[in-house]
């Protein structure tokens, strides 16, 4: 089975979010970049599937040269080769179109990625890739098993889950608990240095949206502490001040 895992290169979940250049650019000063946590689940499941059924894992990122350490980390975790589409991601459609172009040329059986990136949280790329390739897209997937050509999945829905069956090829947006995150071991890290990382130039596609600028939420006011023996006061505040009950 040929698996493609698309990963994002995003600030660590504990990063302080700030902007520069008149709030038009993300301030990456002191920020640690990681494989998107959801993408990390997708990659971990791909490694498990490869262990079971054999095949190859290609990992892909749409990004500039700074994302290469993140791709190398994915190689250390267990991908066989990497592709970097050499362009800064413009919007969801732009990224999806780049992925679809690569996928058309390589005919992957299974395309996995996180349910959403943790920077822009769009959660749209997998669906767009599925539509561009004319194959099913399922998200958010919390369990995925492959038997021959058949894929059984569990998808999270509001208040529960649903079970689905489909045939390869397909695209899945993954989330926990599809697999446990894998930490690269020393052998993985050593071998990742020599695994192929191919840089391809982007295809000519226009994004459909433009981010003009950013803003931070207003600072939270001081918390009002209420004595445990005066819970009636909390209820009064919720009713009369906040007007939420």
Q: Return the residues of window 126-185 that contact other proteins according to CB under 8 A.
A: 126-128, 130-132, 136-140, 142, 155-167, 170, 173, 175-177
Beta-bridged to residue 6, according to DSSP, are: 60, 113
Of positions 56, 80, 119, 202, contacts other proteins by CB under 8 A:
119
Pairing label, strands 137-147, 170-174: parallel
Q: Is 87 in the site for other proteins (CB under 8 A)?
A: no
Q: Is 89 in the site for other proteins (CB under 8 A)?
A: no
CA dist., res. 58 & res. 27, Å (int): 30
Locate tokens 């970049």: which residue?
33
Cα distances from 185 to residues 60, 74, 76, 181, in angstroms, run 21, 12, 7, 13
Q: Is 84 in the site for other proteins (CB under 8 A)?
A: no
Contacts of other proteins in 21-80 (CB under 8 A)? 37-38
CA dist., res. 73 & res. 70, Å (int): 5
Site map (CB under 8 A) of other proteins, residues 204-243, x = contact: --xxxxxxxxxxxx--xx-xxxxxx--xx-xx-xxx--x-
The residue among 93 and 108 lying less far from other proteins, judged by its C-beta, is 93
Residues touching other proteins, count (CB under 8 A): 79
Q: Is 109 in the site for other proteins (CB under 8 A)?
A: no
Q: Are 133 and 168 spatial neighbours (Cβ–Cβ below 8 Å)?
A: no
Of positions 121, 186, 201, 204, contacts other proteins by CB under 8 A:
121
Q: What is the closest distance, in whole angstroms, from the C-beta atom of residue 216 to other proteins in the complex?
A: 5
CA dist., res. 98 & res. 61, Å (int): 10
């Amino acid at each position: 089975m040929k698996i493609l895992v698309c990963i994002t290169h995003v600030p660590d979940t504990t990063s302080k979010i700030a902007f520069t250049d008149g709030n038009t650019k993300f301030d990456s000063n002191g920020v640690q970049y990681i494989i998107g946590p959801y993408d990390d689940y997708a990659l971990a499941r791909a490694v498990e599937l490869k262990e079971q059924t054999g095949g190859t894992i290609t990992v892909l990122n749409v990004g500039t040269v700074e994302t290469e350490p993140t791709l190398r980390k994915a190689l250390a975790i267990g991908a066989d080769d990497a592709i970097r589409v050499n362009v800064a991601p413009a919007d969801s459609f732009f990224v999806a179109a780049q992925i679809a172009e690569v996928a058309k040329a390589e005919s992957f059986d299974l395309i996995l990625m996180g349910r959403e990136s943790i920077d822009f949280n769009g959660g749209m790329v997998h669906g767009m890739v599925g539509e561009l390739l004319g194959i099913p897209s399922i998200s958010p997937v919390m369990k995925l098993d492959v038997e021959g050509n058949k894929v059984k999945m569990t998808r999270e829905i509001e208040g529960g889950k649903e079970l689905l069956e489909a045939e390869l090829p397909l695209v899945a947006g993954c989330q926990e608990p599809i697999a446990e995150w894998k930490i690269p071991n020393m052998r993985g890290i050593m071998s990742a240095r020599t695994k192929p990382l191919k840089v391809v130039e982007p295809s000519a596609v226009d994004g459909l949206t433009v981010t003009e600028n950013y803003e931070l939420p207003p600072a939270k006011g001081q918390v009002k502490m209420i004595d445990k023996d005066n819970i009636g006061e909390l209820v009064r505040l919720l009713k009369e001040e906040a007007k939420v009950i």
